[in-house]
A and B are shown apart, each in its own frame.
Chain A
């Protein structure tokens, strides 16, 4: 097992400037998040139908992924786009193309979509990235309204579309997707959440037929529409897949309206489970039986319904250990006039709704919430929660009495120890910026040691918020790589620092149709380094490491199984 320290890349201009705004809460300073979208060179819009959003397809938006496709240590960015529609008459105005931005290492990006060959013009929705064919390079999988796409990384800056030959050109209305190693055979398997059944003709002829809160005439659905069936694809080990949905016990008989997906070990048995946030249906928790097959336990495990026993309108999902017991809590984003839900992990696959005790009810009740990440923004060692918000009905803007708006401010909720405090105004400044946001992804794009945020927006370019917490706070970054050099899927690192445990995991796909950079960022709460580090790799192997110096990126390679005795 090789373990070598590696300094992160050169700090970009301006990264040394650390701005701390006074906190509105009882904690320390809140790091200021600065909009640097234009300066970073990000301009590709995510088209999402027409202005009126007459069909529900036009409301789901698009995801984004940070990935290091050229393996230069700087997270690149893939942005998904749908299509632009005209309203009268309803017609396709533009088939939007996805965009790949290469990180130049100085805080700016350059659009390399054409040279890379990844500008698919299908109606794009979500994205997940992993090494699909075992060549050590990160590939890109895009969920579409229509056949999904797989772009294999050729290693020379170009990609090759290979979804048909790989067997994962699922033709449904795909939203969330996650790669993970279901059977511990060392390759990336795939779960795809399909939202509902529909055709482009239905999209173009849709008329608003629902009355929202006795005022606005808005799109219909999803109730009344036939739900899409999710799919599970098992990697044969050579980058081709077989549809193993039924064989693995993942048949979506409920035809639930699947949206966000996360694959992680939720019961602490070392095998990767799958959680699906379903719109207007109970959420699924597919518990891995320890052999790559699954049992769906959402309805009785405590994480399928709210604590009141209601199915909510699940959109996005993230999971992380909030309370330091080594088990991941789950946070699910939901519809407007309902809360995000936080499920505390009780162990052995059981959960309880702790939304209220953690202070999530009040700040999350009004907005319509989508992307979510549990991320240590201020590097104090506690995971904070960031949520992307935006209504699905643009018509609400015409009815002020509803006190709802299509564009909404993101939420920045700081973990103050078993409770979140709303520090949005302190982090974003006032007046609060408002976006029709959907996807949310994080990466340390400027290599200053703290996680930055990217929000996708409806019919607009994304917003990139630079976080400037990293220069003064204790922090550590781990870059976990598998035996082939690719990000080590579902490798789970535990860092001990000053008697506190911090757990992070490499994942491919979560939040809302999005993906974080696979580098794992640890805030050490002012400590100068880690006392010890343990990594549990996806195959169950555990490696232990001594103290690691803070303030830098350490690469940790998985043990080579082939070389093992």
Chain B
């Protein structure tokens, strides 16, 4: 990420276009814009990979908590189930609370990957239907009383995450 910042910084120093600019200057500015476009595209691709990694991490964490819950004594089970539920809500919002704090600031730059933003656009991977399904699943997980229900929940979670990560 530091490399990206270093790449972008010089672009902020590009002088404003001179209306009397000669053809040569215009070409240089176009070239700078070309560079900026490449950077923007690269940033988007980096962000996509980052968000995918976030989703995979929360999926893994949710599965781990569900596994622990299946093996745990009743007192500890509820704790693991609530932790799993929380991880699933992080899937629904494409990141934990720290990431949510970042996302709400990104709207200032027209970055609308936020289902709760003004535009109601979907997240990068999770659309509004998948988000609702994940939130419902989280609630279901937190309410589990019978541990034999857990394998079915894991299957449901896997199906949802697989479908979310599939290319549209």
On A, residues with C-beta under 8 Å from B are 220, 222-227, 252-257, 280-282, 295, 297, 299-302, 305, 308-311, 350
Q: CB-CB < 8 A to A227: which residues of B?
A: 101, 104
Give the docked Cα–Cα distance between A257 and B93 (Å): 16
CB contacts (< 8 Å) of B158 on chain A: these are none
Residues of A within 8 A of B115 (CB): 310
- Report how many A-B pairs have Cβ atoms within 8 Å: 81
Interface residues of B in 128-164 (CB under 8 A from A): 128, 131-132, 135-136, 138-139, 141-143
Interface size class of B (residues with CB under 8 A): 20 to 34
> Nearest B residue to A212 by beta-carbon distance?
B118
- Cβ of B88 within 8 Å of any chain A Cβ, yes or no, is yes
CB of B108 within 8 A of CB of A223, answer: yes
Known: A223-B108, A223-B117, A350-B143. A299 touches B101 (CB 8 A): no
Verify if B66 is at the interface (C-beta below 8 Å from A): no
- Give the 6 A-B CB pairs with smallest separation, nearest first: A224-B108, A309-B132, A299-B89, A254-B97, A300-B138, A253-B97
Asked if A225 and B105 make an inter-chain contact with CB atoms under 8 angstroms apart, the answer reads yes
**Are B82 and A295 in contact, CB atoms less than 8 angstroms apart?**
yes
> Given the complex, which residues of A lie within 8 Å of B116, measured CB to CB?
280-282, 310-311
Q: Hey, which chain B residues are within 8 Å of A256, CB to CB?
A: 100-101
A255 CA to B99 CA, complexed, in Å: 10
Please give, as numbers and ranges, the residues of chain A lying within 8 Å of B131 by CB-CB distance. 309
Interface centre among A220, A252, A297, by most chain B C-beta atoms within 10 angstroms, is A297
Q: Is the CB of A299 within 8 A of B135?
A: yes
Residues of chain B within 8 A of A226, CB atoms compared: 101, 105
A350 to B78, CA, bound (A): 14
Assembly CA distance A241 to B155 (angstroms): 48
> What residue in chain A is nearest B90 (Cβ atoms)?
A299
The answer to whether A302 touches B96 (Cβ under 8 A) is no
If A223-B117, A223-B118, A255-B101 touch, whether A300 touches B108 (CB-CB below 8 Å) is: no
B143 to chain A, nearest CB (A): 7
Interface of A is mostly: loop
Q: Quick check: is B20 within 8 A (CB to CB) of the other chain?
A: no
Chain A residues positioned under 8 Å from B118 (CB to CB):
223
Q: Please give the distance in Å from A349's CB to the nearest CB on chain B.
A: 8
Q: Is the CB of B128 within 8 A of A309?
A: yes
Complex CA gap A119/B97 in Å reads: 38
Additional A-B contacts beyond A226-B101, A282-B116, A310-B115 (20; CB < 8 A): A222-B104, A223-B108, A225-B108, A227-B101, A253-B101, A255-B101, A280-B104, A281-B100, A281-B104, A281-B116, A282-B93, A297-B86, A299-B86, A299-B93, A299-B138, A300-B138, A309-B128, A310-B128, A350-B142, A350-B143
11 examples of A-B residue contacts, CB within 8 angstroms = A224-B105, A226-B105, A227-B104, A254-B97, A256-B100, A300-B85, A300-B138, A308-B132, A309-B136, A310-B115, A310-B116
Q: Which single residue of chain A is at the shortest CB-CB distance from B95?
A: A254
The distance from the CB of B61 to the nearest CB of chain A, in whole angstroms, is: 14
Given contacts A254-B97, A280-B116, contact A300 B105 (CB under 8 A): no
Q: Are B135 and A254 in contact, with the CB atoms below 8 A? A: no
Question: Separation in Å of the B51 CB from the closest CB of chain A?
Answer: 17
Q: How far apart are the CA atoms of A257 and B109 in the complex, in Å?
A: 18
B107: interface (CB < 8 Å): yes
User: In the complex, what's the smallest C-beta–C-beta distance from B106 to chain A, in angstroms?
Assistant: 8
How far in angstroms is the closest Cβ of chain B from A291? 14
Please tell me which one of the listed residues A300, A305, A309 contacts residue B141 in the complex, with CB atoms under 8 A apart.
A300
B2 within 8 A of A: no
| Residue from A225, A253, A300 within 8 A of B86 (CB atoms) | A300
Contacts of B92 in A (CB 8 A): 299, 309
Option from A222, A224, A305 in Cβ contact (under 8 Å) with B135: A305
Q: Is B98 an interface residue (CB 8 A)?
A: yes
